[in-house]
Amino acid sequence: MNHDADRPSEGVSPVTNGYIRDVRIAAVPDPGRYPFSLPAVRYLARHGPLSLSGGVTFLVGENGSGKSTVLEAIAVAAGMNPEGGSQNYRFATRSTESSLGQHLTLRWGLDKPRTRFFLRAETYYNVATETERLGPVQVAAFGGVSPHHRSHGESFVDLMVHRFHPRGLYLLDEPEAALSPQGCLAVLTRLAELVDQRCQIVVATHSPILLALPGATIYEFAEDGTIGAVSYDNALPVRLTRDFLADPNRYLRHLM
């Protein structure tokens, strides 16, 4: 990891205070091989770094755009388990992560996070199982109830309330996968609280509810690989959801 915190960045957007100032790709060993063949990864290699704010940064884009791959690589480069958990989780159910994390350089600020956690919706069942295996002390950190004894969405909210502490670094991959609209509102509220507690959070999401968080940075991963900051109103999930709700029959006629 690169701890050169005093050198200014010239990446996708200006740097603001955060534990991780920016993310860059050190080298691309084989541009024709996954994940280096992803347009977003090629874009970062050519035009990076990707600057991260001190509050919440959202990554949005279509399925396959590379946002979750980049988020997973940030988690690995920051010392977290690729299937999820903190830096103390070292289990592997099935190793499917890309090698991108080995080629990322994180530029850290002067302050370091006191704690960190990677919430990955698709492998959270495995994190819950490992939490039980680690014993009562670890379960207590999740509010005293095993995630297996709560609904998927309830366990996500439990995690964010009981395990996400002040001055932490938290990476969330599509947390809305387990959440109702009401659950998304609860997480939105919790994100605002965590920002006030000097946390840095990066979220890959499709949720227009979560994206409404005031003051957040939104990066959109376009189909051609371009990564750029967008406003809430111009973010892809917001545009599509608004258009559909305004006239669902128009979409249904086209789709069917």
pLDDT at 110 over 60: yes
Report yes or no on 132 lying in a domain.
yes
What is the DSSP-derived secondary structure letter of residue 9?
A: P
Q: Residue 174: is its pLDDT beyond 70? A: yes
| Tally of CA atoms within 13 A in the half-sphere of 241 that contains its CB | 12
Residue-range definition of the domain harbouring residue 171:
20-229
User: Percent of the chain at pLDDT above 90?
Assistant: 55
pLDDT greater than 90 at residue 136: no
Report yes or no on 71 lying in a domain.
yes
How many domains does the chain contain in total? 1
CA angle 28, 10, 19 (to 5 degrees): 85
Query: Where residue 171 sits, what CATH number does that domain have?
Result: 3.40.50.11940
- Residue 85 banded pLDDT, cuts 50, 70, 90: confident
Q: Is a pLDDT exceeding 90 seen at residue 5?
A: no
